[in-house]
Every structure is written in C-alpha cells, then in structure tokens.
Amino acid sequence: MQNYPKAISQFWKSYKRSKRGVIGLAILVFFLVQAVFAGQLAPYAPDQQLGASSILLPPTLTHLLGTDEVSRDVLSEVIYASQVSLTVGFLAAFISLVVGTLIGLLAGYYAGLKAEVLMRFTDLFLVIPFLPLVIVLAAIFGSSMLNLILVIGITGWTWTARTVRSQILSLKERPFVERARSIGARDSHIIVHHILPNVIPLAFANSIILIGNAILAESVLSFFGLGDPVHVSWGMMLHYAYTSGAMTLGAYWYVVPPGVCIVLVMVAFALVGNALDDLLSPRLKTSWI
C-alpha cells in the first residue's frame, strides 16, 4: 500500500499490453491537451465574428476548417468546444459514479425491504427511455452548463449501481468479511476497510465508459437546443449547423468536424474503459472485445 510509484509503474506495465487501451489513451491525451491549451492553440477567439464577407467560407489556409453562418472560425470553435464537452462529461460521470456506488453499496450490503425498494427504484430508471426523460428534465430545469451536468449525472448512475451491487453481493460472503464481522467490526468499518477497496476499481473502470456516454448525452441535448448558449459544446455547434441549414448548403466543413470529435472521444473512452475493465474486473478474461 505504501509503495505507490511502484504500484503505478506495475499497473502501467500491464496496461501497456492492451494495444487498444494505449490508442484510446493517446486520443484522450490529445483532446485533453487541446482543451487545456485552447487559448494558445486556437487561431481566433471562439466568438470572434469576422464580418459579412466571410460567412460559411470553405476551408482555406487562413481558416483550416472554414467559417460558420455568423462568420466565426470553425477550427477555433471546435477547439474551445472541447473544453465544454469534456467538462460536462467528466463532472456528470463523477456524479453518476458517486450516486451509483452509494446506491449499489446500500442495496448490496443491506438486505431486506430497503434494498428491495432501492433496486426497484433502479429498475424504474432502467426502464424509462433515457433520452426523452433527460430532455424533459433539461427542458424544465432550463439550459445552463450546471443544469446539464446535474441532469445527465443523476440519470446516468443505474449501470454503476447494478455492477457495484452484484459485486458487493459476492464480496460480503467472502471469508475476510465474515472474519471481520466475527471479531466484532461494525458495518461502517467493514464497508470502508474491506468492501470499498474492492469495489472502487471496478466502479472506476465503469465510470470511464460513463464519461463517454455523458458526452454523447450532452451533445444530443445541446443538439435539441437545450445546451448552454454561453458555453458552446460540439453538440451545440451541430445545433447551430442544423438550424442554419448548413447541410442543405453543402457546408461539410461545419457539419463534419464537431461530430468527428464526438466520435473520437467516445471511441477513446470506450477503449480505455474496456482496457481498465479487463485489468480490474474480477470476472474471467473475455476474448471478444
């Protein structure tokens, strides 16, 4: 436990073996760097309008990805939008992780009526069509970045809760938990010292995939006009592209890049999440993915 650097280097050694995982990580690092250094990398400010003569210009050397319907530089917009999309993704997934782990923990550790109620509650969330629910919630709460994060976060925890619960159901029957209980450990002690350390890695791997899902959910909500008009994300760009009729004008440089970014980030999170899942999850190695 004390030797963190060694543990990390060992972990990296085994992670490196997954080629897909490394590719995913590389894509993620690329987008993170781009988001952090947006101010240095973007040639223009994201909201800088370049005048009526440069509306929907095709790509040129001065505007590598052309301009949009109100004469902003698309490349700069895409770079700045990565900040919004990634922030929403990370924070929403974090909320889902905390809520899901907590509910899964309570439902798994404590048997009986309360656990039953919690699990039926989870089932309810699993059955309700996710997207319409999020849309209705976001419409009622109003469009701001914080509301988007909250809405996506509190609707996305169900799978985490399920995974954590099933893991805890098997953990709490293991000998080391029984031993702790037989020498008189309280529930809180058992949970914090014996159960949680075994569950956190799994929940963590799970939440990596959640980040991708949250980014996708954010892009869909923004596309439906529920995004934050001040903090423009990739989905919001596509919303503007759609409402300004960029497709029918053939403005591929405006339609294609934001979507490509979403796809790349989604794929990257899926690759990293799967690689981590293979390393950390207790089940048998699967060969099919």
Partner 1 sequence: MLFRDPRMTPQDLANLRAMFGLDQPLYVQFYLYLVNLFHGNLGVSFAYDQPVLPIVMQRLSNTVLLVGIAYVFFVLVGIFLGVVAAWKHGSKFDAFCVSFALTTYSVPTFWLSMLFILVFSVWLGVFPTSGMLTIGAGAESFGAYLVDLLSHLAMPVITLVLYYMGFYTILARSSLLEEFTQDYVLTARAKGMSNWQVIRKHTLRNAMLPSLTLAAINIGAVVGGVLQTETVFSWPGIGSLTYDALLLRDYPLLQGAFLITALSVLAANFAVDIIYTWLDPRVRY
Q: How far is the CB of 219 from partner 1 (least distance, A)?
A: 6
Q: How far is the CB of 80 from partner 1 (least distance, A)?
A: 19
Q: How far is the CB of 35 from partner 1 (least distance, A)?
A: 19
Q: How far is the CB of 240 from partner 1 (least distance, A)?
A: 12
Q: How far is the CB of 197 from partner 1 (least distance, A)?
A: 30
Give the other-Cβ count within 10 Å of 198's Cβ. Answer: 16
CB of 172 or CB of 278, closer to partner 1: 278
Residue among 36, 45, 136, 146 that touches partner 1 (CB under 8 A): 136
Binding range to partner 1, per CB under 8 A, among 50-58, 74-82, 110-118, 124-132: 124-132
Residue among 22, 64, 98, 267 that touches partner 1 (CB under 8 A): 267
Q: Are 160 and 209 in contact (CB under 8 A)?
A: no
Binding range to partner 1, per CB under 8 A, among 9-17, 79-87, 126-134, 179-187: 126-134
Q: Contact between 59 and partner 1 (CB under 8 A)? A: no
Q: Site mask, partner 1, residues 208-247, x = CB under 8 A?
A: ----x---x--xx--xxxx--------x--x--xx----x
Binding range to partner 1, per CB under 8 A, among 39-47, 161-169, 196-204, 248-256: 248-256
How many angstroms separate the Cα of 218 from the Cα of each of 127, 185, 240, 267?
20, 44, 15, 16
How far is it between the farthest Cα atoms of the chain? Answer: 79
CB of 29 or CB of 249, closer to partner 1: 249
Residue among 12, 53, 248, 283 that touches partner 1 (CB under 8 A): 248
Q: Contact between 286 and partner 1 (CB under 8 A)? A: yes
Q: Contact between 124 and partner 1 (CB under 8 A)? A: no
Interface residue list for partner 1 (CB under 8 A) = 127-133, 135-136, 139, 212, 216, 219-220, 223-226, 235, 238, 241-242, 247-250, 252, 255-256, 258-259, 262-263, 266-267, 270, 286-289
